[in-house]
Amino acid sequence: MIVIQKVEKGTELAEKLLDFVENCSWLEVKDHAAKTIREWKFEDWETPFAALDNDRIVGMATIMKSDYYPLPEIFP
């Protein structure tokens, strides 16, 4: 069963998410996404979420005010 969980700053889940992103196959944006998580560049209501399968991250998403990576072919 997949569970979606909000990731809070400074938690073990935040560290797991950073590791997941740093090792993901999305080469075009993984460095930028990892930096955003590492430096916790989320404001107001912006936040990352992790998709968990038995406590193992299998996916992630962020809710942000604007697209965090300015590539015209990659958009929300």
Token duo for residue 32: 């930028």
CA distance 22 to 33: 8
CA distance 41 to 28: 19
What's the whole-number average pLDDT of the chain?
Answer: 89
CA distance 59 to 53: 9
Domain-embedded: residue 75: no
Domain-embedded: residue 25: yes
Note the pTM of the prediction, 2 decimals. 0.84
Name the band, by pLDDT with cuts 50, 70 and 90, for residue 35.
very high
Structural domains in the chain (count): 1
> Which pLDDT does position 65 carry in this prediction?
82
CA distance 45 to 30: 22
Q: How many residues does the chain have?
A: 76
> Which pLDDT does position 10 carry in this prediction?
96
Is the pLDDT assigned to residue 75 strictly greater than 80? no
Is the pLDDT assigned to residue 46 strictly greater than 70? yes
* Structural domain span for residue 44: 2-63
